[in-house]
Amino acid sequence: MLLFLGNKLFGVSENLRHICAACNLGEIKFFDYDWKGKGLWNLFFIGGTVIGGFLANDVFNGDGDIIDISHNTVSTLQSMGIHSFNGLLPGQIFSWSSLSHPAVVLILVGGGFLIGFGSRYAGGCTSGHAISGLADLQIGSLIAVIGFFIGGLIMTYFILPFLLPTLH
C-alpha cells in the first residue's frame, strides 16, 4: 500500500548498485549518481524484507519442525544424497560447513554472479519481471520469465543431479 500511495517503484535487484554508490567506490561512472534520491526507498524496502524474513522464520518455524513437502520431492532429493529435512532448508547444502566443499562455493559464487549480472542485463530480477512486468503486459518481461523457467529447468534436471551427490 505504501508503494502505491507513495508512488514508489517496487524493486530489489538494483539495491546492490545503491549500496555500492553509498559506499563511494571511487571514480566508477556506473556508481556516480544520486543514490539517496533514487535508491533510499528501495534500501529501506529490502532491509524490511530481510528483517521480515527473520521474524517470519521465528514465528512460523522457530521450533525447527520438518517442512511439509511432497513425497516425490523428498524421494528425488534422497536419491541425490540429501536426507536432512529439518528447518526451512536442507542443512546438508545450506550450512557453514558446506562452504568447505568446492561444488557449493561454485554454485554460490557462479550462481550469484549469473543472477546479479542477469538481473542488471535483463532490467530486473525474476520476481520483478514475473510479478510487475507481466502485470504490465510487457513483452520483454514475458521473454525474460520464459528464459528464467528454461534456466531453472536446466539447473533442476541436468546440473543439480550431478552436483548434489558430490557433496558427500
**Distance between CA atoms of residues 131 and 145, nearest Å:** 10
Span 124-147, pLDDT tens digits: 777 778 887 888 788 988 998 898
What residues does each domain of the chain span?
A: 1-62, 96-168
Kindly state the average pLDDT of the residues 160-165: 76
Closest CA to 13 of 158, 142, 144, 143: 144
Q: Is 14 exposed, middle or buried (0-12, 13-18, 19+ CB in 10 A)?
A: buried
> From residue 7, how far is each of 1, 3, 17, 40, 126 by CA, in Å?
10, 6, 21, 14, 22
How far, rounded to the nearest angstrom, does the alpha carbon of residue 76 sit from its chain's CA centroid?
A: 23
In tens, the pLDDT along 79-137 reads 877 887 776 677 777 778 878 888 778 888 888 888 777 777 777 777 778 887 888 78
Spell out the residues 6+ positions from residue 85 whose beta carbon is closer than 8 angstroms to its own: 66, 67, 69, 74, 77
pLDDT band (50, 70, 90) for residue 166: low
- pTM for the structure as a whole: 0.55
CB atoms within 10 A of CB 61: 14
